[in-house]
Chains A and B, each alone.
Chain A
């Protein structure tokens, strides 16, 4: 098995082959013998040259993280044989900017109307989650082109709340 793994922004080449009861790894060309057991889903016990590690895997729709002890590492795993496009999305700083909900919640108030001029950092609407009211602010100076949810609407993390241009 051959993978390209990006950990904390740095790319590594990883080869894994069965070797007896364990695995022979080649990480960026370096040979390492690894014993690996998956005691339950998302938990991996690794022994590398006598050192034991408990690794926890956390997956969301957009991210993959490996926890080594109490440290969290953002990881991307790719099969180099796949033809998947590797270019990440880029955000245009100048054009319209979407404001998305940072957490699920309920819209309790709109602070401006559509087509209003707003300053950077000016509040656009208020979302309540778990009894906290959080003001969602404009990331840039411009015109509020659209406010998507109505007062009382329930929003999920990542939903577009407003567009400022």
Chain B
């Protein structure tokens, strides 16, 4: 087993991995950019080293700097988390060349799967069903127009190196294509350092369901059940659950077997996720394989009773899987909310800033994986994911009730978060009935918000409370008196844009 591991990441996932290491008696090395010196992962690690300026391309994406820290600190292995270098085959190769174990698949498997275009070519050979489109990147707007015309609109533009909706655009017709291609390429370049973008036929309102797999370095591969990830905004997952409300044990086994076939075709090792699009007839198509630990891995951990990070580390150190497929069983139901720093009243635009108050939920069936703390200033330079709130119950209904209770307890001030969005989703009849697809959230947001309006009793309580705060905490008394909110032109414009987008 390793004695020391470097975590090449930040935020909640770095904290998650550091916790697993501490549980296993492994020392941890954090790396941080200038703006992340006060970040939580730096405080939790045993050792921490600066790796440069805020911009990820000068810090968290710098292979040379990270490997230099690994050598200096004597780390034997690197855990890449998700995002940043986690799916970068060059990084995995550079680790191998430096004699440092990369906790993840081999560079060969990553190259095969990491580029979505290459994955499509290989899966075609292995006989795995996938969505029609181009298997190569687009070099010009003319080429994009030809390809789109061939598969038929609507089409989806996707970054070959992509994930999390970055560098991805839905295009309804030829008129939108050129601008969408340029912005997708530019976003792909800034997010992944690679502007390759390809076209895929858009399946309208599919479900997005993925299967967790785990493979050791001795030829054993297992599947650990699916995650329903259909609730998305701008192709970014917002809420995930396991199991999916529509997958029965037979469909689960069939998806699991295809996922294992995908993994084996790539000689895959360590933890990975095979993503499927599922149409209304419950046919499933291979979409891509994510060659990393997923953000939403906790719902699988809660329903299987396994610790995926422990297993990743044990597999990377050469151990065999300590169980077989027959030992895997799914118990209860788990739901995860991704708490983002974004403003629900302003079309969910990012909202970095200082957290002035943080009240945390706890109690039965609640897990929080978080990278934030009160007093911390959320930097504007990275992904807006702050924390994940996960509930576990004996069935879906209990998981929903627990999550609603926990969301009632959760409070973040100083920055805007999407916590209110989850309250809205969880009380929605379609969500409760499990009627989900990737268009679900846009439809929900297009409806008028059913949040209870000003309640006369609460209005009175708010008035009394405002006065009581002023009396009991005079230092911060009526600083806000007379502060008229400035009706800024752009603000209404953003709202209009939000409505227009929601109606698409």
Contact = CB atoms under 8 A, between A and B. Distances in A.
B380 A129 contact: yes
Contact of A104 (B234, B380, B485): B380
Nearest to A161: B490
A147 interface: no
B352 interface: yes
Contact of B482 (A1, A85, A97, A128): A85
Nearest to B458: A68
Contact of B464 (A25, A70, A71): A25
A53 B466 CA distance: 13
Contacts, number: 227
A130 B486 contact: no
B467 A7 contact: no
Interface string B463-492: 111111111110011111111111111111
Contacts of A34: 464, 468
Given A56-B359, A63-B483, A132-B349, A70 B462 contact: no
B218 to A, nearest CB: 38
Interface string A3-41: 101011010101010000001010100001010101001
A82 B452 CA distance: 35
A110 interface: no
B383 interface: yes
Nearest to B451: A71
A77 B467 contact: yes
Contacts of B283: none
Interface in A75-100: 75-79, 82, 84-89, 91, 97-100
A74 B476 CA distance: 17
A122 to B, nearest CB: 11
Interface residues of A, number: 80
B294 to A, nearest CB: 18
Given A25-B464, A55-B465, A131-B191, A79 B455 contact: no
Given A56-B357, A103-B351, A130 B382 contact: yes
A161 B491 CA distance: 13
Interface string B86-105: 00000000000000000000
A68 B145 CA distance: 53
A113 interface: no
A2 B371 CA distance: 42
A97 B407 CA distance: 39
Given A16-B468, A44-B472, A103 B349 contact: yes
Contacts of B486: 62, 89, 91
Contact of A68 (B350, B465, B471, B480): B465
B341 interface: yes
A11 B285 CA distance: 58
Interface in B393-407: 407
A130 B468 contact: no
A14 B487 CA distance: 28
Interface stretch (B182-190, B206-214, B429-437, B442-450): B182-190
A139 interface: yes
A137 interface: yes
B346 interface: yes
B467 A104 contact: no
Interface residues on B, range: 35 or more
Given A5-B466, A70-B420, A105 B472 contact: no
A71, A82, A87, A161: most-surrounded residue (chain B CB, <10 A)? A71
B452, B462, B470, B483: most-surrounded residue (chain A CB, <10 A)? B462
Contacts of A140: 489
Contacts of A27: 460, 463-464
Given A58-B413, A59-B476, A139-B493, A14 B420 contact: no
Contacts of A71: 451-452, 455, 458
Given A44-B472, A131-B382, A66 B466 contact: yes
Contacts of B461: 46, 48, 53, 55, 68
B451 to A, nearest CB: 8
A55 B458 CA distance: 10
B142 to A, nearest CB: 23
Interface in B214-268: 234
A130 B359 contact: no
Contacts of B497: 137
Contacts of A79: 478, 481
B152 to A, nearest CB: 28
Nearest to B236: A132
B362 interface: no
Contacts of A88: 484-485
B464 A46 contact: yes
A157 B352 CA distance: 10
A69 interface: yes
B472 A36 contact: yes
A143 to B, nearest CB: 15
Contacts of A43: 357, 359
A7, A89, A136, A158: most-surrounded residue (chain B CB, <10 A)? A7
Given A66-B465, A133-B186, 16 more contacts: A14-B464, A27-B464, A46-B468, A48-B461, A57-B466, A59-B356, A63-B485, A84-B481, A91-B489, A102-B494, A103-B343, A105-B380, A129-B349, A130-B352, A131-B190, A132-B384
Interface of B: 166, 183, 186-187, 190-191, 234, 341, 343, 346, 349-353, 356-357, 359, 380-384, 407-408, 411, 413-414, 420, 423, 451-452, 454-455, 458-473, 476-494, 496-497
24 contacts: A1-B467, A7-B454, A10-B459, A16-B468, A34-B468, A36-B472, A56-B357, A64-B466, A64-B483, A69-B458, A73-B454, A77-B481, A84-B482, A88-B485, A97-B489, A98-B490, A103-B346, A103-B380, A104-B353, A121-B493, A130-B341, A130-B381, A130-B382, A133-B183
The 8 closest A-B pairs by CB, nearest first: A88-B484, A130-B350, A139-B489, A73-B462, A66-B462, A55-B465, A64-B480, A58-B413
